């Protein structure tokens, strides 16, 4: 049982708990600095979905624009990086 738990968690249970506590403290601090709460994040997601619904899905068109705009930079850089790593 312990072996399966270690395999699932990626480390021992104790070390995993310590890592989770440290990361939770850091994330909690950052969220406090930015004034975020779990409820504000949930409300933001809910408001985003309602806004898309009320605007008749026109907001999704902006996502497509962002996708195409970003792809004009990302795709050529990806190809160039792959070509340089292919030579090795």
Taking only the tens of pLDDT, the chain with its 88 residues reads 677 777 777 778 888 889 889 999 999 999 999 999 999 999 999 998 888 777 766 766 778 888 888 999 999 998 888 888 866 5
Residue 87: the pLDDT is 62
Query: pTM of this prediction?
Result: 0.49
pLDDT for the residue 1: 60
- Annotate 4-66 with three-state secondary structure: HHHHHHCCCHHHHHHHHHHHHHHHHHHHHHCCCCHHHHHHHHHHHHHHHHHCCCHHHHHHHHH
* pLDDT of res. 83: 83
Residue 30 CA to chain centroid, in angstroms? 15
pLDDT at 75: 92
Judge contact between 40 and 32, C-beta under 8 A.
no
Do 15 and 23 meet the contact criterion of CB atoms below 8 Å apart? no
């Amino acid at each position: 049982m312990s072996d399966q738990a270690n395999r699932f968690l990626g480390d021992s249970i104790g070390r995993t708990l310590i890592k989770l506590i440290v990361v939770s403290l850091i994330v909690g601090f950052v969220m406090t600095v930015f004034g975020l709460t779990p409820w504000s994040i949930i409300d933001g997601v809910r408001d985003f979905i309602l806004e898309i619904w009320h605007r008749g899905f026109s907001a999704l068109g902006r996502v497509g624009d962002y996708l195409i705009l970003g792809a004009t930079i990302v795709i050529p850089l990806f190809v160039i990086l792959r070509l340089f790593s292919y030579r090795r």
